[in-house]
Amino acid sequence: MIDWLMVAVTGVGVAYVISRISIYIHVQLFRSSNDDFVMVDVYLPHGVHLYNMKVPILELVTRNNIPWLESEVETKQGETETDSGREQRFIKGLVQIFVYQPRKLRRLLRVYRYYRRMYRRFMHRVIETVCCEKFYWTTSFGSDDAAVTAVLNGLLWSAKAMILTFLQKRTNFTAKPVVKVQPLFGQQKIEIEFRCIFSLKLGNLINALKSVVYSKAKGVRSNV
């Protein structure tokens, strides 16, 4: 009896410790001339990395007088490969489904709406417990026309203020956000540097997953 009690107490203690572990999500966006990237890094305390993703660069190009999205991917050798074939196949596949397989399209839309509801429910539970530990966003923009530069920089300030207000209403900022807009008069140039670190307790993430699984199971039972 005592052994079982010790095992139970130990299990509860381990579960509590695990639930208090923080997961950090570091998002970076950098644009300067031709050097662009978006990177997402997920890690635990003491530098234990769980996931790292570098998003390919997407550009709008013209192929045979048709606009396409083109991606530039960094290879393992440090080189870059550019290929628009992936985007072309994806778009052509969507067109074929839309034109020749309307039933499949309707089924895909139903599946999309279902998982969108699940995703929104999950993200709502997660965002309630997220802390923003760093928010740094600077933008330098300019054009040859000084008036255009001034107007667009004012619009950038307004857009950033709206986004920051939206985030502050939904997450807890533990550090003062840094937001800057730097006009570059007489220069045709745009530079962006964005760094943001979010933290989330593992226990809160597990509770959000449990709520989604429970609602899904409840929906299945109600349809039986």
pLDDT tens for the chain, 224 residues: list them.
566 777 677 776 767 777 778 889 999 988 876 667 888 888 888 878 888 877 766 555 555 555 555 555 444 444 444 555 555 666 666 666 666 666 777 787 888 888 888 888 888 888 888 899 999 999 998 888 888 888 888 999 999 999 999 888 888 899 999 999 998 888 888 888 999 999 988 888 888 777 777 766 555 444 44
pTM above 0.95, yes or no: no
Q: Determine the Cα–Cα distance for residues 18 and 45; give it in Å rounded to an integer.
A: 12
Among 53, 57, 52, CA closest to 35: 57
Whether 141 and 193 have beta carbons less than 8 Å apart is answered as: no
Q: Domain locations in the chain?
A: 23-55+131-199
